[in-house]
Amino acid sequence: MDLLTVIDESRINLELDAANKAEAINALVDMLMKSGVLSSKEKFIQDVYLREAEGKTGIGGGIAIPHGKSKSVLKTSLAIGRTKRPIFWESLDDQPVRCIVLFAVRDVDSTTMHVKLLGEFAGKLADEQVVEKLLTSTQTSEIIDIFSEDK
C-alpha cells in the first residue's frame, strides 16, 4: 500500500497547540474535516474514542496512533500532529507523546485497508531514523518524504 495515498500536507501540523489527548484528537479531526474526508466530526470522534477504550494507542517512543473506523469517513486518510510539548497519552512505555498519527478509515475499508495501513506504518516506525524525523522535522514536506521513501 502506498502511504502517500492517505497523507496530505494540509493534514500535518508540526506545531499542534494541544495540552491533552482530547485537544489533540479534536485538532486532528478538524484537519480531516477541513480537507473534506469526514462527513461528521462528532460521529468520527465518537468512533475514535470507542477504539481508544479498547486499548492503548500510544505505541512508545513519543508516538500515538489513534484510529477510528467509521461510516463518517469519506476517504481513508491520516492526520499527523506534533505537539509543542509532550502530553499524557496511555502508552505502552508509560511515557508522554509528542507525535500523534490519527488514522481515519472508511467503514468499508475496515478489514483490508486498515490492516495494510497499520502494517505499513508500523514497518516505517520500526526504523529509529524515521521516528527521529517524525519528532524533529521542521517542514511538512519532510514528513511526506518519510512516507514516500522505501523501507
pLDDT digits (tens, 9 = 90+) for 25-72: 999 999 999 999 999 999 999 999 999 999 899 999 999 999 888 999
CATH number at residue 108: 3.40.930.10
pTM: 0.91
Q: How many structural domains are present in the chain? A: 1
Residue 150: pLDDT band with limits 50, 70, 90 = low
Supply 7's cell numbers. Answer: 497523507
Domain that holds residue 61: 3-148
Residue 151: pLDDT band with limits 50, 70, 90 = very low
- Residue 14: predicted pLDDT: 96
| SS3 state of residue 72 | coil
Residue 128: pLDDT band with limits 50, 70, 90 = confident
Strand partners, 80: 12, 101
* Structural contact between residues 143 and 12, judged by C-beta atoms closer than 8 angstroms: yes
Burial class (CB in 10 A: 0-12, 13-18, 19+), 23: middle
The amino acid at 58: G
State the average pLDDT over residues 85-114. Answer: 87
Q: Which residues contact 140 (CB under 8 A, 6 or more apart)?
A: 9, 12, 14
Supply 133's cell numbers. Answer: 524525523
